[in-house]
């Protein structure tokens, strides 16, 4: 059945204008003034509302085993939370298993069979040798065009600089994009040993042992290697103001480097880790300072940083106490695992559903970015960089009808009860939000209607991706 959304104000990455939108067979087929309603058409009146393309979150970790437990949102609950927050596409990271790429991707596809929104995958690249290099084209055949490398997590996920340089060159030959987690593992390991030897075991030491200098020099190191390999690199979860400085330094000299930050690095600082419940803010890289928050906002405003993802990787704060999710009790071991030792706190925090509502109020309404930048950073730019544009991230004829109708006047006190993320806490607990998604469409299907969930497990599709753009 055709759907006509009338009288809305469309907000794209570059323009804001009044228009109607006609949807047929999962696609936007027309955008214009006073569009006639075809026979049998369902009509929604969006007068007084904004319409944006569905959010694209380029960085999630659903159902990820780590620290002897597993991230507490799976590929259904995390997708549902994303949808309530206006996100209709997510990109998750596949663990690089010793059995090879095909088996690794197959395992992730099995987990994602319950997908409720559209999704694609990045591949963690945590081993490097001739066999791995030769196998990379397999990923392209599976529609996976992006690889994540780490300069921290020694002896676990990290590749050496020489290996990263070789991976960049090979990725460049194949038209793939390398994403980089930038910290300095060789500095972090001895700092952790020192802290533990001195009995410094509280959550704030997670931040003190992962200094911003490591993130800053590692960002420049990756940018430099990308320039020398003539292959693009995308710096994930940028957290330190100095990383923005390095990104800009490199971009001004023509290095093909792009960057992503996340809401947690815009709103929180190491002081949050000093609270009695500081473990809630433990993720890697850690929170920095208010000056870093301010520099990252500036980099978003100026276009120095290209995207805002979430790095959604939630754990319970107290996994020994069940919560009720969709009517059933569930408890998953979480941050309490590190009650006596910060190195045992599972690294990661929730955010996939919080991202757009929090950024709308505290970014757009607060005057830190404008509404078009909001769409560019959270939808259009990730779609372009990751090879999904204009199918995703666009309000254009021919694009998937992934739309969010925003009620700019709706107010909530945000928090765990409102967010649909499957954890027992929310970083934005009690924050007053004005302007929220009212209706969310995935390929023309209404999946969120106010507080009503109309989506379903299995309703999301895998998105094989091609080559993206270097923005």
d(CA 100, CA 351): 30
DSSP 298-346: HHHHHTSS-EE---B----SSTTS-EEETTEEE----GGGGTT-GGGSP
463 with 143: CB under 8 angstroms? yes
Cβ atoms < 10 Å from Cβ of 94: 23
Nearer to ligand URP, 29 or 95 (CB): 95
For the bound state, the minimum distance from the C-beta of residue 284 to ligand URP, rounded and expressed in Å, comes to: 4
Nearer to Zn ion, 181 or 221 (CB): 181
For the bound state, the minimum distance from the C-beta of residue 365 to ligand URP, rounded and expressed in Å, comes to: 27
Interface pattern 278-317 for ligand URP (x via CB under 6 A):
-----xx--------------------------x-x----
Nearer to ligand URP, 61 or 75 (CB): 61
Nearer to ligand URP, 61 or 418 (CB): 61
**Residue 146 binds: one of Zn ion, ligand URP, none (C-beta under 5 to 8 A by kind):** none
Torsion of CA 160, 296, 346, 282, to 10 degrees: 130
**Residues in CB range of 42: below 8 A, 6 or more apart:** 1, 2, 3, 4
**Residue 126 binds: one of ligand URP, Zn ion, none (C-beta under 5 to 8 A by kind):** none
- Residues forming the site for Zn ion (CB under 5 A): 181, 311
Polymer length of the chain: 471
**Residue 381 binds: one of Zn ion, ligand URP, none (C-beta under 5 to 8 A by kind):** none
**Residue 351 binds: one of Zn ion, ligand URP, none (C-beta under 5 to 8 A by kind):** none
Footprint (CB under 6 A) of ligand URP, residues 327-356: 347-348
At residue 310's C-alpha, the angle toward residues 23 and 46, to 5°, is 30
For the bound state, the minimum distance from the C-beta of residue 319 to ligand URP, rounded and expressed in Å, comes to: 16
For the bound state, the minimum distance from the C-beta of residue 70 to ligand URP, rounded and expressed in Å, comes to: 12
**Residue 283 binds: one of ligand URP, Zn ion, none (C-beta under 5 to 8 A by kind):** ligand URP
Footprint (CB under 6 A) of ligand URP, residues 55-114: 61
**Residue nearest Zn ion by beta-carbon distance:** 181
d(CA 43, CA 146): 39
Cβ atoms < 10 Å from Cβ of 190: 10
220 CB-side CA count, 13 A: 14
Give the footprint of ligand URP on this chain (CB under 6 A). 61, 181, 283-284, 311, 313, 347-348
């Amino acid at each position: 059945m055709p759907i006509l959304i009338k009288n809305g104000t469309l907000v794209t990455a570059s323009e804001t204008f009044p228009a109607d939108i006609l949807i047929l067979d999962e696609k936007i087929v027309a955008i214009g003034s006073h569009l006639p309603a075809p026979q049998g058409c369902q009509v929604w009146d969006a007068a007084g509302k904004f319409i944006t393309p569905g959010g694209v979150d380029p960085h999630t970790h659903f159902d990820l085993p780590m620290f002897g437990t597993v991230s507490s949102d799976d590929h259904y609950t995390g997708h549902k939370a994303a949808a309530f927050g206006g996100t209709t596409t997510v990109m998750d990271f596949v663990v690089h298993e010793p059995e090879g790429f095909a088996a690794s991707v197959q395992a992730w596809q099995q987990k994602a069979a319950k997908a409720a929104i559209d999704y694609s995958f990045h591949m963690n690249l945590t081993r490097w040798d001739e066999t791995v290099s030769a196998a990379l084209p397999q990923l392209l055949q599976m529609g996976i065009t992006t690889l994540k490398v780490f300069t921290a997590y020694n002896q676990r996920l990290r590749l050496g600089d020489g290996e990263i340089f070789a991976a960049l060159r090979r990725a460049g030959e194949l038209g793939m994009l390398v994403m980089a987690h930038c910290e300095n593992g060789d500095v972090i390991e001895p700092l952790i040993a020192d802290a533990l030897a001195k009995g410094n075991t509280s959550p704030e030491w997670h931040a003190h042992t992962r200094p911003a200098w490591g993130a800053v020099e590692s960002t420049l190191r990756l940018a430099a290697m990308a320039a020398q390999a003539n292959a693009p690199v995308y710096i994930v979860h940028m957290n330190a103001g100095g990383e923005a400085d390095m990104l800009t330094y490199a971009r001004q000299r023509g290095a093909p480097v792009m960057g992503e930050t996340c809401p947690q690095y815009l709103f929180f600082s190491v002081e949050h880790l000093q609270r009695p419940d500081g473990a809630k803010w433990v993720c890697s890289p850690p929170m920095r300072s208010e000056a870093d928050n301010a520099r990252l906002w500036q980099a978003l405003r100026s276009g120095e940083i290209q995207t805002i993802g979430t790095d959604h990787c939630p754990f319970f704060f107290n996994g020994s106490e069940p919560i009720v999710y969709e009517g059933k009790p569930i408890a998953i071991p979480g941050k309490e695992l590190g009650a006596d030792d910060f190195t045992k706190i599972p690294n990661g925090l929730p955010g996939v559903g919080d991202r757009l509502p929090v950024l709308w109020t505290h970014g757009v309404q607060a005057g830190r970015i404008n509404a078009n930048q909001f769409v560019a950073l959270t939808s259009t730019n990730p779609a372009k960089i990751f090879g999904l544009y204009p199918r995703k991230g666009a309000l254009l004829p021919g694009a998937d009808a992934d739309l969010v109708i925003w009620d700019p006047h709706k107010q909530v006190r945000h928090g765990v009860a409102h967010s649909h993320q499957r954890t027992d806490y929310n970083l934005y607990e009690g924050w007053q939000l004005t302007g929220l998604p009212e209706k969310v469409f995935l390929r023309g299907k209404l999946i969120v209607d106010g507080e009503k969930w109309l989506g379903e497990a299995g309703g999301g599709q895998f998105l094989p991706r091609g080559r993206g753009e270097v923005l």
